[in-house]
Structure 1
Amino acid sequence: MRSSAGIYRTVLAPVLLGLVALALWQLLVVAFDIKAFIVPGPIAIGTEFGANLSTVLQGALVTGGNALVGLVIGGVTGILFAIIAALVRVIDELSAAVVAAIAVVPIVALAPVLYTMFGAAAETGRQLVAAIAVFIPVYINTLRGLRQVRPVHRDLMRVYAASAWQTTRTVTVPGALPFIFTGLRIASSLAVISALIAEYFGGPIGGLGKSITSAASGSNYSLAWAYVLGAIIVGLVFYCVTLAIEKIATRHYSPNT
Structure 2
Amino acid sequence: MSAGAAEMPPVVRRPRGSQDVRARATRERIGRVVAPIVVGLAVLGVWQFLVSVVGVSDYLLPSPAAIAEEFVAFAPAILAAAGVTGFNALVGLVVGTVLGILLAWAAAQWRAIDAMAAPVVAALAVVPIVALAPVLNTMFGADSQFGRQAIAAIAAFVPVFVNTLRGLRQAAPVHRELMRVYAASGTQTFRTVTLPTAVPFLLTGIRIASSLAVISALVAEYFGGPRGGLGSFISTSAASSAYARAWAYVVAAIALGLLFMLATALLERIVLRHRPAA
TM-score by length of 1: 0.95
Render the CA deviation track for 1:171-229: whole Å, top value 9, x for unaligned. Answer: 21221122111111111000000000000011222100001011111100000000000
- The alignment partner of 1:166 has SS state of helix
* Pairs within 5 Å for 1:100-111: 100-111=122-133
Larger radius of gyration: 2
- The alignment partner of 2:221 has SS state of helix
Amino acid at match of 2:140: F
Amino acid at match of 2:155: A
- The alignment partner of 2:147 has SS state of helix
Aligned partners of 1:199 and 1:207 also within 8 Å:
yes
2:136: which partner in 1?
Answer: 114
* Pairs within 5 Å for 1:116-195: 116-195=138-217
Which 10-residue stretch deviates more, 181-190 or 240-249? 181-190
Query: Match for 1:76 among 93, 98, 113?
Result: 98
Which 10-residue stretch deviates more, 38-47 or 119-128? 38-47
Aligned residue-pair number: 256
Amino acid at match of 1:163: S
2:223: which partner in 1?
Answer: 201
Q: For the residues of structure 1 that align with 2:113 and 2:185, how far apart are their CA atoms?
A: 19
1:214: which partner in 2?
Answer: 236
Q: For the residues of structure 2 that align with 1:165 and 1:97, how far apart are their CA atoms?
A: 29
Q: 1:254 deviation in Å?
A: 3.9
Q: For the residues of structure 2 that align with 1:91 and 1:23, how far apart are their CA atoms?
A: 54
Render the CA deviation track for 1:73-132: whole Å, top value 9, x for unaligned. Answer: 001111111111111122112211111111111111111221222212111110000000
Which 10-residue stretch deviates more, 26-35 or 55-64? 26-35
- Where do 5+ consecutive residues of structure 2 fail to align? 1-22
2:270: which partner in 1?
Answer: 248
- The alignment partner of 1:201 has SS state of coil
CA RMSD, 1 decimal:
1.3
Question: What fraction of aligned residue pairs are identical, expressed as a percent?
Answer: 57
Q: For the residues of structure 1 that align with 2:166 and 2:184, how far apart are their CA atoms?
A: 22
Q: 1:166 deviation in Å?
A: 2.7
Q: For the residues of structure 1 that align with 2:228 and 2:162, how far apart are their CA atoms?
A: 33
- Where do 5+ consecutive residues of structure 1 fail to align? none
Which 10-residue stretch deviates more, 222-231 or 110-119? 110-119
Query: Match for 1:4 among 12, 18, 26?
Result: 26
Q: For the residues of structure 2 that align with 1:59 and 1:123, how far apart are their CA atoms?
A: 13
Amino acid at match of 2:215: I
Question: Highest relative contact order (Cα 8 Å, sep 6+), 1 or 2?
Answer: 1
Q: For the residues of structure 2 that align with 1:134 and 1:236, how far apart are their CA atoms?
A: 16
Amino acid at match of 1:72: V
Amino acid at match of 1:120: A
1:228 aligned onto 2:250: yes
Moved over 4 A (4+): none
- The alignment partner of 2:120 has SS state of helix
Q: 1:163 deviation in Å?
A: 2.7
Amino acid at match of 2:121: V
1:67: which partner in 2?
Answer: 89
Q: For the residues of structure 2 that align with 1:217 and 1:251, how far apart are their CA atoms?
A: 48
Aligned partners of 1:60 and 1:234 also within 8 Å:
yes
